[in-house]
Amino acid sequence: MIGRLNHVAIAVPDLDAAAAQYRDTLGATVGAPQDEPDHGVTVVFIELPNTKIELLHPLGDASPIHGFLEKNPAGGIHHMCYEVADILAARDRLTSAGARVLGDGEPKIGAHGKPVLFLHPKDFNGALIELEQV
């Protein structure tokens, strides 16, 4: 059901410093910051030959990343995103198997302009999983 790894998301306390580190120290191709108000984050994508890294920074005090950074002040891996061909079929299969979808269970549009869902980390070995329809 899941396809390729689309990205690994890392919550960071300083978006500019993290982007500069990937660009200047690691020599990666770094995109421009992009606000995602529906998700409460500002993101920067790092392009790699086989996947992407998504740097996440809170967009406002209500951001879920704000709470994550309070618990992890230096930042850290926040979630992994896998591609799926049909997000509704994937959701239905997962929920019938007992997995919990966060929020209201309906896909939202993610940073790539495609439908996304998040799966409860307690159902996946402590890892927050994002599914993105391709």
- Looking at residue 96, its pLDDT comes to 97
Can you read off the two tokens belonging to residue 94?
Answer: 């997962």
Residue 106 bears catalytic tag: no
**Nearest Cα residue to 110 out of 6, 26, 16:** 6
pLDDT, tens digit only, all 134 positions of the chain: 899 999 999 999 999 999 999 999 999 999 999 999 989 999 999 999 999 999 999 998 889 999 999 999 999 999 999 999 999 999 999 999 999 999 999 999 999 999 999 999 999 999 999 999 99
- Taking CB atoms within 8 Å and a gap of at least 24, the contacts of 67-76 are 68/11, 69/11, 69/13, 72/11, 73/13, 74/13, 75/10, 75/11, 75/12, 75/13, 75/18, 76/10, 76/11
Q: Which of 36, 83, 106, 130 is catalytic?
A: 130
Where residue 17 sits, what CATH number does that domain have?
3.10.180.10
Domain hosting residue 27, numbered range: 5-133
Domain count, the chain: 1
- Looking at residue 42, its pLDDT comes to 97
